[in-house]
Amino acid sequence: MERTQKIFTLEWLNKLCHLPLDAGAEQETHRQDIMITILMLTGSVVITGLSLWDILYASGPHWGNITTLSIGLLAAISYNIALLTSKTSLATTLLMMIFLHFFWLITCDVELTGLLWCIVLLPLFFFLLGYKRGGVLVLMLFLASALILFRPEWFALDTSYSSSASYRFLLAYLVLFWVSFLVEYIRFQTRLRLREAKDYLNIQAKTDELTGLSNRRGFKQYLGEVEQRTEMRDSFAVIVGDLDHFKQINDQYGHEVGDFVLREIAKALKSLVRSEDLIVRWGGEEFLLLLVDTDLNGAQILAEKIRQTISSTHYSTDQGKLAVSMSLGVDAQKVGGDLYATLGAADRAMYEAKRRGRNCVVTSNADIAEAPGQEELDLPI
């Protein structure tokens, strides 16, 4: 009863319209199930009503009306059950529609209603299958229908459609085929462009514009996916690095040179880590690396390699060669460790590297002094 009330309040339609554009396979299947159920329930009610009308007024062949009524009632019951269980079958629906197409074409020739019902079914094939598969199926139905209309003796059939009615039907069928194809193609392309635009905006939102690395938003999204990432079930490590005296670079050489240095540092970091690791521009001249399946020793070796690569690189400017260095802090956790605690420990180790004179690597298991005024890493909530 409650499910029926929801149907009449159009709650199911609101849910259908508000499914996300980037819906996954499960949501897309659910969307398809709802569409099929709506269409077939509507069709079954119409078929049942018209069949009862034809039986009542003795319109058309009696056995044909009885068959159509039976199909209508069977479809109504089946798709009501499907609505309650949220499960339906696209293949079964298509087979039923194809059967009805040829059944009406062969038997329901009173006042050309069979031809009219065949035309009604045509756009539904596109709606359920899309413009590619729908187009192929409808063309096959068109060719088969043309053979039945003009060469019924080949199939031992007795149809009474005139040549004029058959030609008009096939012409209308082709026109509706073209219109339905265009509508479905445009709908598909529009949806595709909307999805591409959404993906682009999502990438822009979680990417640092200057360096192309992940930003804090991207890191927060990554953390939200950690539970689903099997590689994070093993040990992981964090490296926090901060460029030394970067403010002096901006003051002496200008922000354009500073931006150039940040881009070059980002390139160097990308070249040194694996594709499954995450590099984040944490803010200003500070970078964070999240390394999957890595212990403290492996992270320390990588951090030292990063330090040496950066300190050995000199950048050409209008005022001469520019040398840059980085202070790095490292921490690692075993399976089931607290990622936020690891981030904080790596950050404290980085500040210890600053205190020890910069351009060095400090691990979290080192003797770290509490620096006055030291700020904790600003972690996303």
Active-site residue set:
285
Helices 255-272/246-253 angle, 10° precision: 140
Tell me the helices (H) and strands (E) count for the chain, helix number first.
Answer: 12, 7
Residue 26: strand, helix, or coil: helix
In b/e form, how buried is each residue of 251-279, taking b as 16+ CB within 10 angstroms? Answer: eebeeebbebbbeebbebbeebbeeebbb
Query: What is the C-alpha to C-alpha distance for residues 176 and 26, in angstroms, rounded to an integer?
Result: 32
Query: What is the C-alpha to C-alpha distance for residues 191 and 341, in angstroms, rounded to an integer?
Result: 43
Q: What is the DSSP string of 202-241?
A: HHHHTB-TTT-SB-HHHHHHHHHTGGG-GGGGS-EEEEEE
Q: Is 352 left (phi over 0), alpha (psi -120 to 50) or beta?
A: alpha
Long-range contact set of residues 258-261: C-beta below 8 Å, sequence gap at least 24: 259/210, 260/315, 261/315, 261/322, 261/324
Query: What is the C-alpha to C-alpha distance for residues 284 and 242, in angstroms, rounded to an integer?
Result: 9
Question: What are the residues whose beta carbons fall under 8 Å from the beta carbon of 171, sequence distance 6 or more?
Answer: none
Neighbours of 83 (CB within 10 A): 20
Q: Virtual CA dihedral for 342, 346, 347, 351, nearest 10 degrees?
A: 150
DSSP state of 338: -
Question: What type of residue is 151?
Answer: R
Long-range contact set of residues 198-205: C-beta below 8 Å, sequence gap at least 24: 198/21, 198/22, 199/22
Q: In the chain, what's the furthest Cα-to-Cα distance?
A: 101
Q: Are 335 and 349 in contact (CB under 8 A)?
A: no
